[in-house]
Chain A
Amino acid sequence: MKKRLLLGDEAIALGAIHAGLSGVYAYPGTPSTEITEFIQGNELAKERGLHSRWSTNEKTAMEEALGMSFMGKRALVCMKHVGMNVCADPFVNSGMTGVNGGVVVLAADDPSMHSSQDEQDSRFYGKFAMVPTFEPSSQQEAYDMMSVAFEYSERVKLPVLLRVTTRMAHSRAVVEVSEEPRQENAMNYDAVAANWVLLPANARKRNDHVTAQQAELEEDACTSPYNIYSDAADHSLGIIASGIGYNYVCECFPEGCPFPLLKISQYPLPKKLVRRMLSECERVLIVEEGQPFIEDIVRGVAEMPNVMGKYTGELPRTGELNPDVVKKALGMEIGESFDPCADVAPRPPALCQGCGHRDVYAALNEVLREYDNPRVFGDIGCYTLGFLPPFRAIHSCVDMGASITMAKGAADAGQWPAVAVIGDSTFTHSGMTGLLDAINENADITVIISDNLTTGMTGGQDSAGTNKFEAICRGLGLSDKHLKVVVPLPKNMPEITQAIRDEINYHGTSVIIPRRECMQTLQRHLKQKKAK
Chain B
Amino acid sequence: MKTDIILCGVGGQGILSIATIIGEAAMNENLYIKQAEVHGMSQRGGDVQSNLRISSDPIASDLIPRGGADVIISMEPMEALRYLPWLSKTGWIITSSTPFVNIPNYPDMEVINADLQRMPNVITIDIERLAKENGIARSANVILLGAAQKALGIEYDKLEEAIRRVFGRKGDAVVEANIKALALGKEAQK
Which A positions have Cβ atoms within 8 angstroms of B?
A: 3, 5, 7, 30-31, 33-34, 114-115, 167-168, 170-174, 244, 247-248, 250-251, 254, 322-324, 327, 334-341, 343-352, 382, 385, 457-459
Q: B132 contacts the other chain (Cβ, under 8 Å)?
A: no
Is B46 within 8 A of A339, CB to CB?
no
Is A349 within 8 A of B46, CB to CB?
yes
Across the interface, A335 reaches (CB within 8 A) one of B33, B37, B66, B102, namely B66
Give every chain B residue within 8 A of A31 (Cβ-Cβ). Answer: 39-40
Chain B facing A: main interface SS: mixed
Across the interface, A343 reaches (CB within 8 A) one of B41, B85, B107, namely B107
Give every chain A residue within 8 A of B111 (Cβ-Cβ). Answer: 343
Is A247 within 8 A of B40, CB to CB?
no
Instruction: Looking at the assembled complex, report how far the CB atom of B108 sits from the nearest CB atom of chain A, in whole angstroms.
Output: 9
Is A338 within 8 A of B42, CB to CB?
no
Is A5 within 8 A of B23, CB to CB?
yes
Is B36 within 8 A of A170, CB to CB?
yes
Total contacting residues, chain B, CB less than 8 A:
50
Which B positions have Cβ atoms within 8 angstroms of A?
A: 10-11, 23-24, 27, 32-47, 59-68, 78-79, 81-82, 84-89, 102-103, 105-107, 111-112, 115, 119
Given A30-B41, A167-B36, A170-B36: A248 and B61 within 8 A (CB)?
A: yes
Is A337 within 8 A of B82, CB to CB?
no
Give every chain A residue within 8 A of B41 (Cβ-Cβ). Answer: 30, 114-115, 349, 457
Residue of A nearest to B36 (CB): A171
Instruction: Looking at the assembled complex, report how far the CB atom of A327 sits from the nearest CB atom of chain B, in whole angstroms.
Output: 7
Give every chain A residue within 8 A of B112 (Cβ-Cβ). Answer: 343
Across the interface, A114 reaches (CB within 8 A) one of B42, B67, B81, namely B42
Distance between Cα atoms of A349 and B48 in the complex (Å) = 10
Is A115 within 8 A of B85, CB to CB?
no
Give every chain A residue within 8 A of B61 (Cβ-Cβ). Answer: 247-248, 250-251, 322-323
Residue of B nearest to A384 (CB): B41
Given A334-B66, A345-B105: A385 and B44 within 8 A (CB)?
A: yes
Is A324 within 8 A of B32, CB to CB?
no
Given A251-B65, A339-B85: A171 and B35 within 8 A (CB)?
A: yes
Distance between Cα atoms of A115 and B115 in the complex (Å) = 31
Identify 7 new A-B residue pairs, CB closer than 8 A, beyond the known A5-B24, A347-B46, A458-B40: A168-B62, A173-B62, A244-B62, A251-B60, A324-B66, A337-B85, A350-B44
